[in-house]
Amino acid sequence: MEHRTTKKLCRLFAAAAIGVTTATAVDEVGQVTSHSEGLHGYIGFGHEKLPPEGGYSAGMGFYAAVWPLVDQPLANFQIGLPSAWITPDNRDDKDTPLAPEGTLARTWKERGPTWSSVFQTVEGGLGYWAGNHFRYGPPKFSMNATPQCYDYEVASPGWSFFYSNEALPDNRLGIAQLSNRLLIPPDALPFQGHPNGEFLGYTWMALPFTDPTPGDLPTGDQSWTCFLTAANFKGPIAFYIPETWSKIGRLFNYPFLYGRGLDARPGIMGGGAMEINTVPRFDAKDAQGMTYSKLPKLQFPVDAEGRTFLVQDVTYYSKAALYDAFKTWRDGGSACSGRFDDKGAFRPKLNTHTTHYDQAGKTIVGVERAFDTRVFEGNVWGLQWFTNNLSAKGLFPQYYKDAGGERVAVPAAGVPPETRLLAQKFELAKPGEPYASPNHGAWARPGPKMGPFTVKLADGSVVTYSWYRFVDQPSFQQYNWSAEKKAKLQSFVEKLHADWHPDRDYMTPPTRGKLVALDPALLVTPPPGLEVGYVPIVTRQTRQ
């Protein structure tokens, strides 16, 4: 009797448990939850080895396509369009840490024993970033560098990589504004209109604006300088001051680092990629308890043959391309045009491979049925689409079904209606807080010569800027340079402003396609009396 009662109770408990489980499953149908980690991967290209005898490590660049990857500005969204990473060549170091104890990167044990890949980098490029304050649809262009093992980043003449509304501390400023015709706002450079696959050229060149210096802060002569080529602007816009790279050795009392930063070492760029970083997603279950997910619509320009051209004219440069002629001019010789000399250029043969994606750690399957990476005729890297529609856009698979340890791409028609995923819309980005510089320290002493002025950009923001004498701009004030050194640099920049104009070619023009245009509001004209030797420094960027 007791035994039968126990079994009966067990059956009742089991039935109750089943009832609870079924009720929970029913309740979960159509409940849409919002998550991050929607998509991760690197859509990239590589290339053949560079000739060891060529010294092609003094510059590198290419033309990259510009287009609206998303049709609306989304919140919590970050994907880089084709970009590159440059690191100092420390391949001779086999076991000594380049990341000092106390730096952020040193905690990334998997990067040991040398931490060379996260010691110093020049990165940035085209893209969408989670920290953008002023999104407007199309992508933007931003410089960025990590001088100190990712302890901080430097992306404009005053600010970090969108991480703070406030300007960087005076002793962490690293970029010197060089162009006297282009504004560099902290929220990056927007474009004109609605680009759809036009190209922006950008190249990093190591140039000797200053001489190497010995002493307690030994520093090389390489100022990594960013050149842009757009439909309405061409030329150098800014450079990283060499001490930006060398001062880590003194700060951490670690002499091993002297001569190992980007101020002194050749640069390495091992190809490029679209870095898919922060993508939101929705999850929901169907009536059988199966989980489905939805990503934002990611779109690519496609031609009649189903091709998306992403990067062309990848070129590496030796010092013969510009460094040598530039130094001769700086030291009193004949002026150089700034045009990259082809005798110092090498264009490697590109290669690529199928990208592996994941969603919240689970491998994604099926994207390769929609498209795959290709190197097309003319050494152009891009995507070949196998499925397309009549809108001349390639669409990244948007829906996925959970299948154990994988997420499998499914068409919209394969998503059960009860999940309610099809109608879900992702949160749109809202304007962020103003970027603001201080009115003291390096920004005020010696301070600007003229200003402030304001302009409204295509992203809806209003930028405030003032005109500073080149060597008086904030980034230089942390260094105790001699009056002679500052005068020599100032004099040379005045010559450069007089001779290098934004309507001549510096990079070789693109092999194919059209150039994209920067937002015309970024283009400025120096006031009378400040035509040479002065630069427009952005001091504030705020919503309309």
Contact predicate 471/489, CB 8 Å: yes
Percentage, residues of the chain above pLDDT 90: 90
Half-sphere CA count of 467, side-chain side, radius 13 A: 17
**pLDDT on residue 28:** 81
**pLDDT on residue 300:** 96
Residue 393 pLDDT > 90: no
**pLDDT on residue 391:** 60
**pLDDT on residue 419:** 97
CA distance 232 to 393: 26
362-365 vs 406-410, strand pairing mode: parallel
Band (pLDDT 50/70/90 cuts) for residue 2 is: very low
Contact residues for 275 (Cβ-Cβ < 8 A; gap 6+): 42, 79, 80, 83, 127
Provide the phi-psi class of 404: left if phi over 0, else alpha when psi is between -120 and 50, else beta: left
**pLDDT on residue 443:** 98
* Cis, peptide link before residue 208, omega less than 30° from 0: no
**pLDDT on residue 30:** 80
**pLDDT on residue 46:** 95
**pLDDT on residue 27:** 62
203-250 per-position pLDDT tens digit: 999 999 999 999 889 999 999 999 999 999 999 999 999 999 999 999
Considering only CA atoms, which of 489, 498, 514, 205 is closest in space to residue 341?
205
The residues that bridge with 536 in the sheet, in sequence order, are 467
109-132 per-position pLDDT tens digit: 999 999 999 999 999 899 999 999
**pLDDT on residue 1:** 35
Residue range 520-533: average pLDDT? 98
Band (pLDDT 50/70/90 cuts) for residue 387 is: confident
The residues that bridge with 468 in the sheet, in sequence order, are 535
Residue 189 pLDDT > 70: yes
**pLDDT on residue 29:** 85
394-427 per-position pLDDT tens digit: 999 999 999 988 999 999 999 999 999 999 999 9
Residue 6 pLDDT > 70: no
Instruction: Tell which wins on pLDDT, 220 or 29.
Output: 220
Q: What is the pTM of this model?
A: 0.93
**pLDDT on residue 19:** 35
**pLDDT on residue 518:** 98
Residue range 98-103: average pLDDT? 98
- Residue 506's identity, in one-letter code, is Y
Contact predicate 258/31, CB 8 Å: no
Residue 505 pLDDT > 60: yes
CA distance 440 to 68: 39
Instruction: Tell which wins on pLDDT, 329 or 25.
Output: 329
Residue range 454-464: average pLDDT? 97
What is the average pLDDT value for the chain, to the nearest integer? 93
234-246 burial, b for 16+ CB within 10 Å, e for fewer?
bbbbbbbbbbbbb
